[in-house]
Amino acid sequence: MRLWSLHPGYLDRQGLLAAWREALLARAVLRGQTRGYTRHPQLERFHAHPAPRLAISAYLAGLHAEATARGYAFDRGKIGPLRPVPPIAVADGQLMREWAHLLAKLSVRDPQRHDRLQSLQRPRCHPLFRRVPGPVASWERAPDPPAG
């Protein structure tokens, strides 16, 4: 499961579709509708949110907005209720780890997107998140990017 902290506009088609599917799974976990993935590390920040279910709905809404802008037909009815929620803090270190991870994926799956994005020094985060100073999150399991 990868719930990107990065803005969904950076994801390629395959990444956006996977993020949607995985966020729907996360929503099912937070609703107690599945027995799997209940302790998945990436859900820690949603569990810690004062309104976890509303937070995952806000996350899905960000993905839906990007999909709609691209002309994809993600089912809005799967999102659930939307209300304003406090943002989730995401550390610069975490964003940059995800950025390196995404660029590595794009270099293989979508070289043109990779070439357009690789020089970006400060990627935006998903609308649910708010950038703060700090290291890679304790829950992160992506490998360290290659040195150099």
CB 30 within 8 A of CB 53: yes
What does the alpha-carbon distance between residue 119 and residue 117 come to, in Å, rounded to a whole number?
6
Quote the radius of gyration of the chain (alpha carbons, Å).
15
> pLDDT tens digits for 3-42?
999 999 999 999 999 999 999 999 999 998 987 777 788 8
- The answer to which of 13-17, 45-49, 120-124, 142-146 has the lowest mean pLDDT is 142-146
| Per-residue confidence (pLDDT) for residue 34, from 0 to 100 | 80
Residue 86 has pLDDT above 90, yes or no: yes
Residue ranges covered by each domain of the chain: 8-132
Is the pTM of the predicted complex or chain greater than 0.85? yes
What does the alpha-carbon distance between residue 20 and residue 23 come to, in Å, rounded to a whole number?
5
